[in-house]
Amino acid sequence: MAWLALLTWPYRAVRGAVVAFRLWRQLQADADARICLGFKRQQEILSERLREAQARGDTGEEERARQLLHRVQDNELSYHQSRMADLAAHVVADRAPTGAIGPDLPKLPEPDRAGLDTAATALKALAPAETFERHFRLGNAFYAAQDFESALKEYNAALALRPDDPDTLNNRGVTLNDLKHHEEALADYNRSLELDPDDPTTLNNRGTALICLERYEEALADCDRSLQLRPDDPGTLNNRGIALDCLRRYEEALADCDRSLQLRPDNPDTLGVRGVTLGYLRRYDEALASYSRALDLRPHHAGTLNSRGVALTQMGRLEEALADFERSLQIRPDDPDILSSRALALVKLGHREHAFADFAHALALKPGDPAILYDRACAFAVTGQWDEALRDVADAIAGTPRYRTEAREDDDFGGLRADPEFGPRFQKLVAEEAS
């Protein structure tokens, strides 16, 4: 019986913790409801007082009522923002933000957003007030909750009232970048930096947009400048590592990742970037360890699961890779990049029909994407379909010239390189230097 008690105590302890947490959430919800009702009642009273003062023509009383009303509205907004922060802390307590769009404003990661929808809905229900500060703060709150469309509307409203505010331009730029409007984001960063040329946060953020636009040398220059102004910033070191990866300067990228991790040891984003860099260096065991550490810290991150699956594919551990891709697709079912990664593993496992169905689905979601075309070229090469492989690798290189160098070294093209008829055509294609 004593042994049975030892076996069952973990279950009882966990169950007790779950019940306690549910009780805490219920008590907190009841408190929230009472506080929100209090804010609503105060606003009703002050709104009535304001209307009465206006009806009497009492401008002094009208101004006092208006000030009090705005104060209550601001207090309500601050309360909801603090509640969002509290909820976020419970959900992602072990998540260290990699950067801020404004002073002390981290973006909360997906998919762990439980409880934030209620706070975001409450923010949307606040009585409107056409002040710059209010729109700016609402934009920040919506951004933190990853409601990017609502954040964008608030930043637009703030900029209509104060067009040349560099912080708002920066924050709108970050929001646009998250919405994949990279050129518009770049325009906001450029304008913000015209107004405040030495802001390291905006320089780093502009570097991110330039990476998305595949303008890697410019991105690197922005990261360098940002680090001159704010040395040893872990988020900027991480970003510079990404730019260096894209420029194939892998040893320098690895040094930046390692330095970033010295400053912020358990950052899953930097561990993920480090894994990619180690993969490029063909140090797959170390890459796998880096991805696994990132997943220990953030178990349900689809991008890291996909990256680890790619590393496992490169190591020939295809069944394990497929398991990671399946888990990743449970989180993001229609992600074209994950579908493409799974397809290449399926081809190597001999499941050709399923694999090429995945490629077709991925390209329907992201037509003409060079990365997916490159993966499919690898799949065609593995299955001996030389003409199709040459066509896809040519299209991939046309879209992203750095695939020319990758194709020269990729083991998946080994059979194609050795073919007496198609090998010379392949070598000519990948040997051409980008103009």
Best CA proximity match to 74, nearest among 33, 38, 120, 126 = 126
State phi, psi for 400 to the nearest 5 degrees. Answer: -140, 100
- Is residue 153 included in any domain, yes or no? no
State the distance between the two ends of the chain, measured CA to CA, in whole angstroms.
77
pLDDT value of residue 49: 82
- Is residue 397 included in any domain, yes or no? yes
CB distance 205 to 102 below 8 Å:
no
Structural domain containing residue 374: 368-435
How far, in Å, CA of 161 to CA of 155, rounded? 10
Residues of the chain with pLDDT under 70: 1-37, 39-40, 70, 73-74, 76-130, 432-435
pLDDT value of residue 113: 47
- Is residue 412 included in any domain, yes or no? yes
pLDDT value of residue 421: 93
Per-residue pLDDT tens over the stretch 105-132 = 444 444 344 455 555 555 555 545 568 8
pLDDT value of residue 402: 87
pLDDT value of residue 85: 52
CB distance 219 to 210 below 8 Å:
yes
pLDDT value of residue 210: 96
pLDDT value of residue 348: 95
pLDDT value of residue 116: 53
Domains identified in the chain, total number: 1
- Is residue 410 included in any domain, yes or no? yes
pTM of this prediction exceeds 0.75 = no
Per-residue pLDDT tens over the stretch 37-84 = 676 677 778 778 877 888 888 888 888 877 787 677 667 666 665 655
- Is residue 402 included in any domain, yes or no? yes
Does residue 111 have a cis bond before it (omega within 30 degrees)? yes
How far, in Å, CA of 266 to CA of 253, rounded? 18
- Is residue 263 included in any domain, yes or no? no
How far, in Å, CA of 435 to CA of 433, rounded? 6
- Is residue 433 included in any domain, yes or no? yes
State phi, psi for 412 to the nearest 5 degrees. Answer: -65, -20
Q: Would you call 428 exposed, middle or buried from its count of C-beta atoms within 10 A (0-12, 13-18, 19+)?
A: exposed
pLDDT value of residue 54: 80
Best CA proximity match to 288, nearest among 308, 274, 306, 269 = 308
- Is residue 377 included in any domain, yes or no? yes
